[in-house]
């Protein structure tokens, strides 16, 4: 379970020294840009914003946080064509929209029809049902933790951890409301990493010390295992797809809570320095 306290619905629709993973951008042949996103749209983060990023980077491979069971990709990993009614609805800005990171795949392909687009996420059966179930469980945890705090059930010995966690959470909530530039700063990636380490320290302690939260222990353990497994599969899929496609410039579109984990894993796999992680907003020529 990797939820952001008080804001799990916004952010999920789910160590290195600060800055050490940003390397000189012309030291290796393959450049991988990981662009953190939130799976919803507002005036600061939308399809047009992502499209401008892709036009600037000019990737020959885009990897989307999706799988071949999602409905967006066929079994052969090719992107599914949207139905005609959706194309019309998109033109007149009517009807239900795709998330920006999925919508932009179609729009960028209109700009560059030679770009390769593949899913890189772990296969998740009934993804929408899984997300709904996960949100429900995380919201129950958040509500119970809030209740424990409101009723002064959290011991003084770990109360500082609780307060630090709230500070982190509220700050990241504000980040999630902003644009792609804001959420992809190195300080944000490092802070998400710090947030997760704080969670790993605090949650087991509060579950062990507050009786009303003890029932969440097994769920927390299983959720952590799933989070680790999913990120490991995602990172390995990125490497496999990059190598098989022989791409030189790669953009990975993923939820910004995954970004720190993917950076850490990709760097750990990169002993031969075949690729580098490039922070787009720190290297853009603006």
In a domain, 268, yes or no: no
Can you list the alpha helix ranges (DSSP code H) found in 151-216? Answer: 159-177, 180-183, 186-209
Indicate if the pLDDT at residue 22 is higher than 90.
no
pLDDT of residue 45: 92
Indicate if the pLDDT at residue 280 is higher than 50.
yes
Quick check: helix, strand or coil at residue 4?
coil
In a domain, 113, yes or no: yes
How would you classify the pairing of strands 249-255 and 30-37? parallel
Domain count, the chain: 1
pLDDT of residue 18: 33
In a domain, 286, yes or no: yes
Asked whether the beta carbons of 140 and 85 are under 8 A apart, the reply is no
How would you classify the pairing of strands 61-64 and 116-119? parallel
Can you give the residue range of the structural domain that contains 213?
Answer: 1-261+273-286
Q: What count of residues does the chain have? A: 286
In a domain, 204, yes or no: yes
**For helices 47-57 and 100-111, angle between their N-to-C axes, nearest 10 degrees:** 40
In a domain, 163, yes or no: yes
pLDDT of residue 82: 78
Read out DSSP for 84-150?
Answer: HHHHHHHHTT-SPPPPHHHHHHHHHHHH-TT-EEEE-SPP-TTHHHHHHHHHHHHHHHHHHHHHHHH
In a domain, 266, yes or no: no
pLDDT of residue 215: 95
- Confidence band of 6 (pLDDT split at 50, 70, 90): very low
CA distance 18 to 33: 18
Indicate if the pLDDT at residue 126 is higher than 90.
no
pLDDT digits (tens, 9 = 90+) for 199-241: 999 999 999 999 999 999 999 999 999 999 999 999 999 999 9
Indicate if the pLDDT at residue 150 is higher than 50.
yes
Q: What is the mean pLDDT of the chain?
A: 86
pLDDT of residue 243: 93
CA distance 28 to 177: 34
pTM here is 0.85
pLDDT of residue 266: 96
In a domain, 257, yes or no: yes
pLDDT digits (tens, 9 = 90+) for 51-84: 999 999 999 999 999 999 988 899 999 999 876 6
How far is CA 249 from each of CA 35, 58, 60, 186, 204, rounded to the nearest angstrom? Answer: 13, 7, 6, 20, 41
Q: Which of 17-31, 153-167, 208-222 has the lowest mean pLDDT?
A: 17-31
In a domain, 21, yes or no: yes
């Amino acid at each position: 379970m990797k939820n952001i306290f008080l804001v799990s619905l916004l952010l999920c629709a789910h160590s290195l020294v600060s800055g050490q993973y940003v390397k000189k951008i012309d030291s290796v042949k393959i450049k991988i840009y990981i662009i953190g996103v939130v799976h919803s749209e507002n005036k600061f983060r939308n399809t047009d914003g992502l499209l401008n990023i892709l036009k600037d980077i000019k990737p020959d491979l885009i990897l989307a946080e999706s799988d071949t069971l999602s409905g967006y990709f066929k079994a052969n990993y090719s992107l599914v064509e949207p139905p005609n009614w959706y194309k019309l609805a998109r033109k007149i800005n009517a009807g239900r929209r795709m998330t920006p990171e999925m919508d932009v795949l179609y729009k960028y392909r209109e700009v560059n029809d030679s770009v390769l687009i593949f899913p890189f996420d772990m296969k998740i059966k009934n993804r929408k049902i899984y997300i709904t179930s996960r949100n429900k469980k995380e919201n129950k945890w958040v509500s119970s933790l809030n209740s424990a705090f409101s009723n002064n059930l959290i011991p003084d010995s770990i109360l500082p951890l609780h307060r630090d966690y709230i500070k982190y959470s509220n700050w990241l909530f504000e980040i999630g409301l902003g644009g792609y530039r804001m959420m992809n700063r190195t300080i944000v990636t490092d802070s998400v990493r710090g947030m997760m380490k704080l969670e790993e320290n605090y949650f087991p302690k509060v579950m062990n010390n507050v009786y009303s939260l003890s029932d969440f222990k097994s769920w927390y353990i299983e959720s952590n295992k799933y989070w680790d497994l999913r990120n490991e599969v995602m990172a390995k899929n990125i490497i496999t797809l990059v190598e098989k496609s022989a791409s030189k410039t790669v953009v990975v579109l993923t939820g910004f809570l995954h970004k720190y984990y993917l950076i850490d894993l990709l760097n750990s796999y990169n002993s031969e320095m075949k690729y580098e992680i490039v922070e787009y907003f720190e290297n853009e020529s603006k």
